[in-house]
Chains A and B, each alone.
Chain A
């Protein structure tokens, strides 16, 4: 398929730098996402994952939150297996190990590629601390911990599922990927009914923080 950039480049005015994938076209921006200084890019490359800019932006945000803010034990709720990379990356950046940080994946965690070395240890540990079963959720004694809820919004039930997990958490961060898609069901009412008023990024991610 012809890329978005190729389709419109003839019509573009003079510009310095373009960031583009299938959905995004930004002019006059430097690309700090696909570069050798980006930890996110390096991780995606070594795992062999290919994702678009919106997902990279989301991972970049998680990189900062999890790498610098989470100091104590924590939970990651993977409300949708399509966000397994984000789940793994967040857990790893927060210092996750077999004894620090738990992952709850009621809908599964998908398959991780075969990697070697230190990366293999990390993936193995992530899989080991991931509780994969339909009723998986933090036990009562862990509900007070900072909980990162990663959800998708392709279907209404996905949104509802993620939001409900966030409501149960004592504190944490809710991230809903692809929240602002045109054609998505009207999810905003459901969040507001739970008194959650998320910030929506340009790429269409919803963020809500509870402290």
Chain B
């Protein structure tokens, strides 16, 4: 392909003159493969991703070494968040030219998203450390450093970059995000300043909500938290289940017609749901003609806990899409917090248990556990939390550390960890630890049984995961273990009794102590 023609076409595309770019390509006598490559690139720039993907695949079928298409295809896959698919293409491009910023950024994105943060840092750091590195590379490198749980280095890099790009709002935003891990108060201030510069940035407001909520500035925090419902935030925000998107969305109480039904709908992960449900009863008292909409595995448990209101599945609610004359709409339960938990005091006033386990199951499990270790204190444990990879890294503690808590006699531990626990089970067996791994209950699908098993324990020691919310909301005793980096906002910044649940006690590792020292400290309080 003639370089001159390509450059002219590229210039037209960059100016958004897609039709002219297409016309020029068609007139310029390109061979069919190059022609397809150009048309695919134009479709990509136009945002016609499906068309672009098919075209790129056709080009690569005809010429597997078509460099430009490989690069474009990688960018497209990264844009579509198809990181696993993009990884081999990105690696190949990077290996051929490791100083090309675009290739490096794409490759690092693929590595980060497949939980290979350290490798991603190795890809980007040489470029980011150059005195003339671009803003894009610095931002990408800082993000990977944060992903690798190296926020101090991310901060240092960004602070240096700020001297080179003093007007960059993106750098300020990244700085605030990194700062949030080290000092949420500073982060909140930085984000407030930035918000004045970028008053229309939804993602900034969404990010800022966490800093504000973390420092207990609930009025402003919950207000900003509403931006998580914006489609622009996507999956990392507060996406409602697709089935209930057919209804009008309500977030204000005065939008509710008390003579019609209001569907309070669950949102986000199970832990968030349980936290928000703490405010549901107040809403139900005000609007008795309401129903709660939830995922199927939660229906039985929620119906038991909120007998005054019917609990329906998302799919059932979807079937009522045309019943708008009798349904106000869906009210995401996260938005209840703005109305009913606007201050620290409001949490304190409503710190009572509201989740009810299946009592017969609790009795059954308790009897079985007691029979296994008569007279022992039964302690449920969970060591891994988080949904996103980075959350997993900052929320979790190695299972081996829990072994320190198991030295004292008279304690029997029950693994309440969901997901794959084969390695921990083997380790426990090898070390002869007093841990029971329960077979026959699917902790993810059978939430009610898992919850009953947790409530059959005398207490729980857990990292920040849904388990803490479930047991806390049922009034059970939980020792919550939090690392020294950013934890979920609801746990605030301090140690001691948690804000939403009376019997959840927070143990927070300080930066000065090692994890072993932290676990020793926890052990001493048991």
Residues of chain A at the chain B interface (Cβ within 8 Å): 36-43, 45-46, 63, 67, 89, 92-95, 97, 100, 116-119, 121-122
Q: Which residues of B sit under 8 angstroms from A95, Cβ to Cβ?
A: 322-325
Q: Contacts A42-B313, A95-B324, A118-B261 given; indicate if A37 touches B319 (C-beta within 8 A).
A: no
Cβ-defined contact, A92 with B310, below 8 A: no
| Contact partner, B313, options A36, A89, A121, Cβ 8 Å | A36
* B451 CB–A CB distance under 8 Å: no
Cβ-defined contact, A37 with B310, below 8 A: no
The answer for the CA separation of A43 and B316 in the assembled complex, in Å, is 6
* B321 CB–A CB distance under 8 Å: yes
Cβ-defined contact, A38 with B315, below 8 A: yes
Residues of chain B at the chain A interface (Cβ within 8 Å): 243, 261, 291, 295-296, 309-310, 312-316, 318-327
The answer for the CA separation of A38 and B319 in the assembled complex, in Å, is 9
Q: Chain A's nearest CB lies how many Å from the CB of B405?
A: 38
Main secondary structure of the interface of A (DSSP, over half): helix
Q: Chain B's nearest CB lies how many Å from the CB of A120?
A: 9
The answer for the CA separation of A95 and B296 in the assembled complex, in Å, is 24
Cβ-defined contact, A37 with B320, below 8 A: no
Cβ-defined contact, A39 with B315, below 8 A: yes
Cβ-defined contact, B313 with A92, below 8 A: no
Q: Which residues of A sit under 8 angstroms from B319, Cβ to Cβ?
A: 39-40, 42-43, 63, 67, 89, 92-93
Q: Which residues of A sit under 8 angstroms from B291, Cβ to Cβ?
A: 117-118
Cβ-defined contact, B323 with A92, below 8 A: yes
Q: Chain A's nearest CB lies how many Å from the CB of B120?
A: 35
Q: Chain A's nearest CB lies how many Å from the CB of B524?
A: 45
* Least CB separation from B309: chain A residue: A117
Q: Which residues of A sit under 8 angstroms from B314, Cβ to Cβ?
A: 36-37
Cβ-defined contact, B323 with A122, below 8 A: yes
Known: A36-B296, A93-B319, A122-B320. 14 other contacts (CB 8 A): A36-B295, A36-B314, A36-B315, A41-B315, A43-B319, A46-B312, A67-B321, A92-B322, A93-B321, A97-B326, A117-B309, A118-B261, A118-B327, A122-B323
Q: Which residues of B sit under 8 angstroms from A93, Cβ to Cβ?
A: 319, 321-322
Q: Chain B's nearest CB lies how many Å from the CB of A90?
A: 11
The answer for the CA separation of A42 and B322 in the assembled complex, in Å, is 16
A–B complex contacts, Cβ < 8 Å, 15 sampled: A36-B313, A42-B313, A42-B319, A67-B319, A67-B322, A92-B323, A94-B322, A95-B324, A97-B323, A97-B325, A117-B309, A117-B310, A118-B312, A118-B320, A121-B261
Q: Which residues of A sit under 8 angstroms from B261, Cβ to Cβ?
A: 118, 121
The answer for the CA separation of A46 and B293 in the assembled complex, in Å, is 13
* Least CB separation from A40: chain B residue: B319
The answer for the CA separation of A46 and B295 in the assembled complex, in Å, is 14
The answer for the CA separation of A37 and B315 in the assembled complex, in Å, is 5
* Least CB separation from A119: chain B residue: B310
Q: Which residues of B sit under 8 angstroms from A118, Cβ to Cβ?
A: 261, 291, 310, 312, 320, 326-327
* Least CB separation from B241: chain A residue: A37
Q: Which residues of A sit under 8 angstroms from B295, Cβ to Cβ?
A: 36
Q: Which residues of A sit under 8 angstroms from B315, Cβ to Cβ?
A: 36-39, 41-42
* Least CB separation from B263: chain A residue: A118
Max chain A C-beta neighbours (<10 A), residue from B291, B296, B314, B320: B320
Q: Which residues of B sit under 8 angstroms from A92, Cβ to Cβ?
A: 319-320, 322-323
Q: Which residues of B sit under 8 angstroms from A117, Cβ to Cβ?
A: 291, 309-310, 312
Q: Chain A's nearest CB lies how many Å from the CB of B409?
A: 45
The answer for the CA separation of A100 and B313 in the assembled complex, in Å, is 26
Q: Which residues of A sit under 8 angstroms from B320, Cβ to Cβ?
A: 92, 118, 122
The answer for the CA separation of A121 and B312 in the assembled complex, in Å, is 15
The answer for the CA separation of A89 and B481 in the assembled complex, in Å, is 50
Q: Which residues of B sit under 8 angstroms from A97, Cβ to Cβ?
A: 323, 325-326
* Least CB separation from A98: chain B residue: B325
The answer for the CA separation of A211 and B325 in the assembled complex, in Å, is 27
Cβ-defined contact, A121 with B316, below 8 A: no
